[in-house]
């Protein structure tokens, strides 16, 4: 039970900052709780709803939401999520886990490069 509390708490912190709690939640569920990749991603989607609502309220209150870009992001995000849901049905959990790992590695590399550029400026 304590591991679920810690995973939920730290994923919530990351979600609240707008970084994406799934980067913590999905690996934690698969590594520490031995949940398969597809189930971890499904849990992440359900977990996302209440954390997103709280984050939206907070970011709206602090006037950090740029409304002019919302419509295309929402439309294409919904279409992308439909496509991803169908695609997931044809991928094995191991393939999905591999793609997710490479995705996180790619994003981490971009963040390191961005940090180095900002530090040298």
Query: What does the pLDDT read at residue 106?
Result: 95
Q: Can you tell me the distance from the alpha carbon of 10 to that of 54, in angstroms, rounded to the nearest whole number?
A: 15
**Structure pTM?**
0.72
The CA distance from 44 to 26, in Å, is 7
Residues in the chain: 121
- Rounding to the nearest 10 degrees, give the CA dihedral for residues 85, 40, 18, 90: -20
Task: For CA atoms 22, 25, 27, 33, give the dihedral sign.
Answer: negative
Domain ranges of the chain: 2-90
pLDDT of residue 59: 87
Query: Consecutive 10-residue runs of the chain (121 residues): their mean pLDDT?
Result: 91 78 88 92 89 87 92 93 90 89 91 92 80
């Amino acid at each position: 039970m304590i591991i679920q509390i810690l995973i939920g708490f730290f994923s919530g912190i990351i979600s609240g900052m707008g970084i994406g709690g799934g980067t913590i939640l999905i690996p934690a569920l698969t590594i520490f709780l031995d949940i398969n990749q597809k189930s971890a991603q499904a849990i992440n989607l359900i977990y996302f709803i209440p954390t997103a609502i709280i984050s939206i309220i907070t970011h709206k209150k602090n006037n950090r939401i740029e409304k002019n870009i919302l419509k295309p992001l929402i439309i294409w995000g919904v279409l992308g999520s439909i496509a991803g849901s169908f695609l997931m049905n044809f991928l094995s959990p191991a393939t999905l886990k591999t793609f997710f790992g490479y995705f996180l590695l790619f994003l981490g590399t971009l963040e390191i490069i961005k940090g180095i550029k900002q530090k040298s400026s």
